[in-house]
Amino acid sequence: MKFVENQTSDDTLDLVCRMCPLHLLEPGDRLKCLKKGQVLEVLTDYDGALEDIPSWCRKCGQEFIGIEEDDDCYKLYIRKVK
Amino acid sequence: MKRVYMDHAAATPVRKRVLDAMLPYFGEDFGNPSTVYDMGSRVKHVIDEQRTKVAKLIGAKAKEVIFTSSGAEANNLAIKGAALPRQKKGNHIIISAIEHHSVLNSARFLERLDFEVTFLQVDEHGLVDPERLAKAIRPETILVSIMHANNEIGTIEPISELAAICQERNVIFHTDAVATVGNIPVDVNELNVDLLSLSGVSLGAPKGVGALYFRNNIRLMPLIHGGIQESGRRAGTENVPAIVGLGRAAELVEKELLDRSKQVRELRDLLVQGIHERIEQVKYTGHPERRLPGHASFCIEAIEGEALLFMLNQQGIYANTGSACASKALKTSPVLVAIGIPPDLAQGSVVFTLNITNTVEEIEYVLDKLPLAVEKLRSLSPIWRKKSAA
């Protein structure tokens, strides 16, 4: 698990309170709106996302940057590669 | 027997063009919108089209509309859904004392989960005072809910002013617009609200469908967990025919709204004037000007509203004593108590809610039958006899 600090992002997707499998469906849609190289911040309170999102990035060819813990959620950062 | 229906706040008939739009989704287009094959994806696309239509009616973006099973569910989702994820930030909620039961009871439910609720008093017309709201907001206030218009007394609240106060203090603002959407122009940006509930009932759409507008990025705790419907904010296979009905009704209403409001207001004024001329000791409740166009509510001295409804029913006239959901409880209306109506006068509550299908002839029929019914009830009333003798 890679932790990051003060990572900047170009867009935020708030999935807090929303359950599985939204964390595997919505990032793909949101990344479509970003340009290559831009970073998406995903907010979630679902523990399963900590494994699922890095794995989803590998499958989809996107770069998983890392995780930061916040007060009430996790912040996961994805860089759009393709 | 002649039927004169003047209880449109309780239910409106489904319009023919709305019903026609709905019918295919009971039959040939029955596919589940969550399926990947074309029978499902086609229906999913149709749902998204309806989302756009409903959003357009209220000046929102399609992605800011969640379909629900009713206005009550939309209110529950707004109140509980917005409060629960913010409990760490603060536990104080403000609602007005005249909210619909779906807001009142959602707030009372949250009291059981250690939230604190302030029930904001209103003036004699049912108006919430912006200054009073500003004073009630505390650092721990996370949510304010004030209805756009009251379904029992018709008063339209100064929502944009109230919402601006909340925005300044970084407090989420919800309005229950079930009574207004379809009756007067409603624009979420002009009102400056974060959350807004609406229902098919007021629009000529079927019962069993409503919607919640949520400003983009407002965090909401779902009430119904399950699948991915409504982007994970409200699970359960969609009620496709009802959603299509809501979308079609929204589309029709948007084009007709201003003409409809004017026409209905004229009919309402005719009824109000006639009642004042023909029945003595009647109080017109709610605000005299800031009110829903088709809404006429009265408290008639020395009668029981329920008895009057039964007598009107015998003449084919359909009205109500207050909110359709609460009128069976035979309890003094909290709304009438909140605007300072004495309990004995509040018993004589009668509410007429008109829409475009009502006619001048129907108004005349009511003005013919209503005074006779009141006279008969008063002739049986010891209170009235005592008052007349004095």
Q: Residue B216: closest CA among chain A residues belongs to which residue?
A: A14
Average per-residue pLDDT for chain A: 95
Query: Given this model, what pLDDT does residue A21 score?
Result: 93
Nearest to A18 among B84, B88, B232 (CB): B232
User: How far is the C-alpha of B205 from the C-alpha of B218, rounded, in Å?
Assistant: 27
Task: Return the C-alpha torsion angle A13, A17, A22, A23, nearest 10.
Answer: 60
User: Does the pLDDT at position B330 exceed 70?
Assistant: no
The minimum CA-CA distance between B333 and chain A, rounded to whole Å, is 36
pLDDT > 70 fraction of chain B, expressed in percent and rounded: 98
Query: Given this model, what pLDDT does residue B329 score?
Result: 59
Residues A14-38: tens digit of each pLDDT: 999 999 999 999 999 999 999 999 9
Contact B145, B94 (CB under 8 A): yes
User: How far is the C-alpha of B190 from the C-alpha of B180, rounded, in Å?
Assistant: 14
Nearest to A16 among B219, B225, B228 (CB): B219
Element (H, E) at B199: strand B195-199
Mutate to test the interface with B, among A11, A18, A42, A72 (most CBs of B within 10 A): A18
CB atoms within 10 A of CB A22: 20
DSSP assignment string, B259-326: HHHHHHHHHHHHHHHHHHHH-SSEEE-S-SSSB-TTEEEEEETTS-HHHHHHHHHHTTEE-BSS-TTT
Nearest to B300 by CA among B323, B276, B316, B330: B276
Contact A29, A80 (CB under 8 A): no
Nearest to B231 among A16, A22, A72 (CB): A22
What value, to the nearest 5°, has the Cα angle with vertex B388 and ends B386 and B390? 70
User: Does the pLDDT at position B327 exceed 80?
Assistant: no
The minimum CA-CA distance between A22 and chain B, rounded to whole Å, is 7
Helix (H, G, I), strand (E, B) or coil at B128: coil
Q: Residue B217: closest CA among chain A residues belongs to which residue?
A: A14
CB contact under 8 A, B233 and A18: yes
Q: Residue A73: closest CA among chain B residues belongs to which residue?
A: B85
User: Does the pLDDT at position B300 exceed 80?
Assistant: yes
Residues A27-74: tens digit of each pLDDT: 999 999 999 999 999 999 999 999 999 999 999 999 999 999 998 899
User: Does the pLDDT at position B201 exceed 80?
Assistant: yes
Query: Given this model, what pLDDT does residue B326 score?
Result: 53
In the 8-state DSSP scheme, what is residue A19? P
- The band of B146, judged by pLDDT with boundaries at 50, 70 and 90, is very high
User: How far is the C-alpha of B104 from the C-alpha of B96, rounded, in Å?
Assistant: 9
Helix (H, G, I), strand (E, B) or coil at B100: coil
Which residues are CB-contacts of B64 (< 8 A; sequence separation ≥ 6)? B55, B188, B213, B214, B215, B216
User: Does the pLDDT at position B331 exceed 90?
Assistant: no
CB contact under 8 A, B85 and A16: yes
CB atoms within 10 A of CB A75: 17
Query: Given this model, what pLDDT does residue B323 score?
Result: 57
Q: Where are the alpha helices (DSSP H) in B112-239?
A: 130-136, 159-168, 188-191
CB contact under 8 A, B221 and A19: no
Buried b (16+ CB within 10 A) or exposed e, B232-248: bbbeeebbbbbbbbbbb
Q: Which of B113, B134, B258, B325 is catalytic?
A: B325
- Kindly state whether B233 is in contact with chain A, defined as any CB-CB distance less than 8 angstroms: yes
Amino acid at A9: S
CB contact under 8 A, B228 and A72: no
ipTM of the complex: 0.89
Contact A40, A15 (CB under 8 A): no
Phi-psi region of B230 (alpha: psi -120 to 50; beta: other; left: phi over 0): left
Query: Given this model, what pLDDT does residue A71 score?
Result: 86
User: How far is the C-alpha of A81 from the C-alpha of A75, rounded, in Å?
Assistant: 19
Residues B73-124: tens digit of each pLDDT: 999 999 999 999 999 999 999 999 999 999 999 999 999 999 999 999 999 9
Strands across the sheet with A63-69, in order? Answer: A11-14, A39-44, A74-79, A63-69
For residue B87, list chain A residues with Cβ-Cβ distance below 8 A.
none
User: How far is the C-alpha of B200 from the C-alpha of B11, rounded, in Å?
Assistant: 9
Which residues are CB-contacts of B173 (< 8 A; sequence separation ≥ 6)? B143, B144, B145, B146, B162, B163, B166, B167, B192, B193, B194, B195
The minimum CA-CA distance between B234 and chain A, rounded to whole Å, is 10
For residue B166, indicate whether it is catalytic.
no
CB contact under 8 A, B232 and A72: no
CB contact under 8 A, B219 and A17: yes
